[in-house]
Every structure is written in C-alpha cells, then in structure tokens.
Structure 1
C-alpha cells in the first residue's frame, strides 16, 4: 500500500516514522499552500525549550496558491539564523559534529522554491539515517483518497493536530525541560545517531 505525505521542512519524527515504515512513498505536491503548517516550519529543542524555525515565503495576492509554486523570500538571511539555532541547540549532542558537514549544503544553497528545498532535505536526511528513499509525486489533488490504496498521512503536515506520542530518548536539555515529544527528526538524529532509524521503524503511528 502507498503512503501519502507532504514534503515538509526538516520533517517531524512522526513524518519520518511514516516514511521509514512505508512500502511505497508518494509525496503530495498538487495541494494548495496553507500557512502555519510544517510545509515551511519545524520545531527543535533549544536551551530555552521548544523553538520554532520558520522559513519566510513570498506572499501572493492570489487566495489559493499551489504549494509547488511557493517561493522563498530572499530578503531574510533565514539560513544563517536557522543554522545558528541548530548549533546552540545541538552542538553538545552526541552526533551533531558527525552529521554537520552532510547538512551544511542545505544552509548554503539558495533555493527559489520551497518544494525544491524540502526535497533536498528529505534526500540528505534519509542518507544520514541510512534509509533508502524512493518516491513519486502526485499530479493532481484529491481531498480524500481510497483507504484501501493509500495510507493517508497528509494530516501530519499540521503539527498542531498531530498528537503522536513516542518513546522517550535522551535529549540535550531534558534535565531542564524534560522530554519533548515529536520534534524535528534532527533532534532524533543528533541525539541517537545510527540508532535513529531503528527507533523510527518501531514507533506506533496513527492516521489522523
């Protein structure tokens, strides 16, 4: 059965668990862009607790703009800011330095389109996880899909509605703020390294 997902910015652990457990992956690219979703944002564990990283995008006068047409706003140096935030959050984690050079190109290449950036991230993070990622993309949007044909995980793009609960693992600042559930997959990667993929494969997923 195919697994249907949105490509997002440094996807959540639930998102990558769905990828790790999928037989066939199909990414939704024919949808309308929605603000305040994980299409252009991710959450990390900073010294002060949970922190949102948001990519600024160009706003259009059109009320319905396709996600594949969304362009990144070039007037903000968000890449430098995001990398500094990741360093502050994870420099002391067990595996930050191990993956730093693999991830650096994401913060150096200037993409025009959000979707191109998100696919670059998916491919690089999958390699870091040693996870094979073969996928196709949609050509048209269907609000509902046949549950016998697809595992529809597109709702995971709305992080506020994602109530997935996962096994705890050691986090850098958990002595201050406790375990924070379902952050960006980067949190898992930097803290668990080569064990991250095994973790993703055994987490229980609920289709929203």
Structure 2
C-alpha cells in the first residue's frame, strides 16, 4: 500500500494504523493550512474524559497559507501545559514512566514552524514504537492522487470515522472506552505491544 498522508501533531491512532500497514509513505507538504484539524491538535484521555490539546499558531495576513509555512505562537507556554496534561492523564498508565524522559525534551524546545514540530514528533513516536518508517515528501499539490491510497482526510477528525478495537485505557471504568485518540494513548497504555495492535486493525 502506497499512502499519502499528513504529518500531524501526535497523530491519531487511525493515522498510525495507515502508517504501519503501508509499504510506502509520502507526506503531503504542499497543501494549505486548515484550522480545527489535527495538523495542530491531539485528543487525549484525561481524568475528566476526552481533552483537546491545541498548538497555538500565528495568524497570517495571507488568506491561503501553506501548512509548511505556519509558525507556532510560543508566547503562551503551551508546551508546559501540554506536558502537564499528559502527566495528569497518563501518570498511572503502564508505560508513561518508561517513555517520559524521551518525550519531555520535545516540550522544552521551541520550534518555529509547526511542520518541523510534527516531523520531529513522527521520528520520536516511531523510535518509541520501535519501528522504522521512511517517508517521502510531495513537491507539489494534487487534488486527485491515483497512484496513492489517499489518507489525507484523516487529518480532519470530523471526516475520520475509523472505529478501532478496544484496549485498556486508564479511565475505562470511569468513562468507558474512548475511540481513536492520539497515538500517545495507545503507546502509554500498551507500550511496544501497540505495533501488533496497529497492524491488526482495519483502515
């Protein structure tokens, strides 16, 4: 399977199902940025239920700004807030402490561009899962891509209707199973067993 997909902020589990089952991965680099998509947000399972973590971005005067040109607004200390939220959500999960020191430095850095942050996250998550995925990058934008399995719609959570098999989550007994959260939810709960899980899901 030859897929076209977006680099996103700690991608959804459906994203990683597609990534781990692909023979070849190409990242969409030439599209326009769209608000309220997973380009700059992820969903985690907090003590109070689903929580949205959003990376603030600088507004551009241009009506259509390319995703790769979007800059992060770093004046709000969002990194510290995101990591605190992850701690609150996953401190008691089986694998959070195992991966904690790998992820903490990412939240202590200040990236200028959202795309650079997302590409670094891709490498970091792959290392944590113990997998090697080499991704190529597009050099121009195409609406139709007949040579690819087009998974670009997964960046828009409202269009992503993927239903995944249940696994044990920290607050299962309190709120029940939450479907298709960030890959971090699966990683912190399942560790590297997550890879077998991903390869057995339908996308």
Q: Which runs of 5+ in 1 are unaligned?
A: none
Q: Deviations over 1:65-113 (max 9, x none)?
A: 0000000002110000000000000000000000001111210111000
1:197 aligns with 2:195: yes
Q: Please state whether the residue corresponding to 2:198 is helix, strand or coil.
A: helix
Match of 1:188 in 2: 186
Matches within 5 A, 1:153-168: 153-168=151-166
Match of 2:53 in 1: 53
Q: Deviations over 1:97-146 (max 9, x none)?
A: 00001111210111000000000000000010011110110000101110
Q: Which runs of 5+ in 2 are unaligned?
A: none
Aligned residues: CA RMSD:
0.6
Instruction: Give the deviation of 1:43 after TM superposition.
Output: 0.1
Match of 2:107 in 1: 107
Match of 2:125 in 1: 125
**Count of matched residue positions in the alignment of Structure 1 and Structure 2:** 203
TM-score, length basis structure 1: 0.96
| C-alpha distance in 2 between matches for 1:88 and 1:168 | 22
| C-alpha distance in 2 between matches for 1:177 and 1:108 | 31
Match of 1:92 in 2: 92
Q: Please state whether the residue corresponding to 1:159 is helix, strand or coil.
A: coil
Moved beyond 3 Å, runs of 4+: none
| C-alpha distance in 1 between matches for 2:22 and 2:105 | 27
Match of 2:35 in 1: 35
TM-score, length basis structure 2: 0.99
